[in-house]
A and B are shown apart, each in its own frame.
Chain A
Amino acid sequence: MAELLADKHAFYIAMTYGATFLYIVIELILLTRSKQSLLKRITRMGRLKERN
């Protein structure tokens, strides 16, 4: 691993694996958050409907 980090192409390898990992994390967070906000919105709509 130390040899890989010292490699002259380490930057290109880091940009590849780093960007892919970042994309996966961001996509999973966004999907989870959008589900939570959807559930909140539907709950609010349901409460409004019951009140009216």
Chain B
Amino acid sequence: MNIFTKAFWLQLSTPKNFYPIAGKLIPWFLISATLLAVIGLYYSFFVAPVDYQQGNSYRILFIHVPTAWMSMFIYVVMCIYAILGLVLKTRLSDWMALALAPTGAAMTFLALWTGSFWGKPTWGTYWIWDARLTSELILLFLYLGFISLNSAIDDPRRASRASALLALVGIINIPIIYFSVKWWNTLHQGMSVTVDKAPTMATSMFTAMMLLTFAFWLYTIAVALMRVRNIILERESQTAWVQDLVKGKN
């Protein structure tokens, strides 16, 4: 089958075809995420040296930075699915956006949580109304708003449309978060890792951070697929294929 044809993607985007494929992919993503996390944790605790200024507290950044990156990345991917759902009216796109939102909200919460535990020993405070921290908090509210709006409207089609519009309006917050340290004079430090420059940290520290970033990335894909499978089961529970699938399992 040619993967470059429209027919292939349309075929794949039907819940009936997508459900078993997602089921086969989940263990691979989970195993890869676990392996990368184990190696990343080994690097972050045993290979990366103690920082001469921050001591051991900088090891918090091995979790804080990947979760902060993931919080923004998941929002962008969620928006792409929301746009696809709005334009192409594919149910699976709406469901993927809905499946990504709780993990995105959790990553944002973790970024704020870990950031506050890094801030206390480094800045002397858990929280400050700095541009980067405040815009990240707004991102958490956007995720919560997306989830709440989706569950507040009974008609799934209208719920998806309304929450997609909210997600689209909220995307303006992503460049604000990313460039906040450049645009404003913030307590939050500037970017240590950018696409166009070499990282301003030791190679072992950078390796630990990237390994854990990829581990979080693969984990997110796995849980999003698990959640979308649950959504498919719930929304398609009346269909013959789901009934047959459940009968086959019992």
Contact = CB atoms under 8 A, between A and B. Distances in A.
B113 A38 contact: no
Given A8-B121, A24-B219, 6 more contacts: A4-B56, A9-B55, A10-B56, A16-B114, A42-B233, A42-B246
Contacts of B45: 1, 4
Contacts of B120: 12
A7 B76 CA distance: 38
Contacts of A41: 237
B67 interface: yes
B185 interface: no
A19 B106 CA distance: 11
Interface of B: 45-46, 55-57, 59-60, 63-64, 67, 103, 106, 110, 113-114, 117-118, 120-121, 219, 223, 226-227, 229-230, 233-234, 237, 242-243, 246-247, 249-250
Contact of A39 (B59, B121, B227, B249): B249
Given A9-B121, A12-B118, A20-B114, A35 B60 contact: no
Contact of A43 (B57, B121, B234, B246): B246
Contacts of A42: 233, 237, 242-243, 246
Give the size range of A's interface with the partner. 20 to 34
A16 B64 contact: yes
Chain A interface main SS type: helix
Contact of B117 (A4, A12, A43): A12
Given A15-B117, A20-B67, A7 B55 contact: yes
Contact of B60 (A1, A4, A13, A28): A13
B247 A12 contact: no
Contacts of B46: 1
A7 to B, nearest CB: 5
Given A4-B45, A12-B117, A31-B227, A39 B56 contact: no
Given A24-B219, A42-B243, A19 B114 contact: yes
B189 to A, nearest CB: 17
Given A35-B230, A42-B233, A42-B246, A13 B110 contact: no
A8 B56 CA distance: 9
A4 B234 CA distance: 46
Interface in A18-40: 19-20, 23-24, 27-28, 31-32, 34-35, 38-39
B85 to A, nearest CB: 22
